[in-house]
Amino acid sequence: MKVLAYTSPARGHLYPIVPIMAELAARGHHASVCTLSGELGHLAQTGIECSAIDLAIERNRLEDWRERSQLRGSLSVLRTFAERAGREASDIERAMARGDPDVLLVDINCWGAAAVAEARGRPWAMYSPYLLPLPSRDAPPFGLGLRPLTGPLGALRDAIVARLGNCVLDRAIMPALAKLRAQHGLPALDHFNDLLGRPPLLLALTAEDFEYPRSDWPANVRLIGPVNWAPPLQTPGWLADISDPLVLVTCSTERQADERLVGVALEGLPAAGMSVIATTAAHDPGAFDAPTGSRVLGFLPHEVILARAACVVCHGGLGITQKALTAGVPVVVVPFGRDQLETARRVEVANVGVRLPPRHLTPDRLTQAVHSAIERRAGARRLSRAFAAAGGHIVAADAIEAIG
């Protein structure tokens, strides 16, 4: 069986599928990935054939960090996905012509690639490395990170918020999505969320122990738990000079206005007797002054730090949040936008860390939040066991084989 995976231009959307595709390759299948040009070298030793996505797609970066409101930021992200979609469609068609895959695995953010996959009639699956934005009678509407609320008041709140959210999304996105689907001979959808019902298999890279328990998961959804991977790296020698307690601080791999997280952490945590290792990702690490005993780097695989970390402070991307919890390390989540408000709320509800709104981000409050999160380490370890039980890349490979 030949399997082709197509990703959006983000490391956080590539790295989780690497173990899945490597597992398929190890089982004797031909596995190929179309992804970021700068990551091809890292995949060379995995047994996965790889090629670059259209560079024009890579250059069309998220600009939501320029917006001043959560709503405008979210709409900016969705517009970027819509703009990429046309090039994705022709790009995945070229990749299919090269390899003639039997099965397609498509990133949830790649609407153009998904349209081609659906239109071609071959077995296909979609994967989501963030929490699924699916409506449910058992969970609050997705997007605002609302606290679960039961009873008549909760039902009324959820109905109003869901109706307003659908109106905003449908008005902003559905015309472009309808045009895209019509170009490939596909029927129009009633609502944006209907897109997630189209693939025969929808892989959710989380587990229900972290998600809200639901009685109405769609039949195509398979919760497989987190899937973690990073380019191999030896433990840096300087790590031995870092004193405990050690706190890992991370920014998003896709630029957003979260650099304040590093500055506040460096100001508050070392003064409280903690060492900080910060990875800035999209921001210049040279813009920060690290005190003695702490370090700031652009990128470093987090696995080598998590073995010693007492806590992780992050923006709330599901990847780093679940990677920390998989290692049994509690988290402080400071959500700046995108899906991060939902991740932050689930951290709070699952009692595996602390949610700290950006408006409350000060050195003293962050220090207090880290101390509170460390007290929740038992919850993080419990969730780590639940993640392991979900099956990860093995279960994902089984599910892909089943539709192939």
Average pLDDT of the segment spanning 371-395: 97
Topology alike, domains 2-229+390-403 and 237-388: yes
CATH topology assigned to domain 237-388: Rossmann fold (3.40.50)
Top CATH class of 2-229+390-403 equals alpha beta
- 344 three-class SS: helix
Of 36, 32, 79, 78, the closest CA to residue 57 belongs to: 36
pLDDT tens-digit readout, 84-121: 999 999 999 999 999 999 999 999 999 999 999 999 99
Residue 13, C-beta contacts closer than 8 angstroms, at least 6 positions apart: 7, 107, 109, 129
Average model confidence (pLDDT) across the chain: 92
Residue 134 CA to residue 148 CA, distance in Å, equals: 15
The full set of domain ranges for the chain reads 2-229+390-403, 237-388
pLDDT bin (cut points 50, 70, 90) of residue 397 is very high
pLDDT digits (tens, 9 = 90+) for 166-189: 888 888 888 989 999 999 999 999
Query: Taking residues 301-322, what's their average pLDDT?
Result: 93
Residue 234, classified by CB atoms within 10 Å of its CB into exposed (0-12), middle (13-18) or buried (19+), is exposed
Cβ proximity of 260 and 254 under 8 Å: no
- Cα separation, 294 vs 314, in Å, equals 16
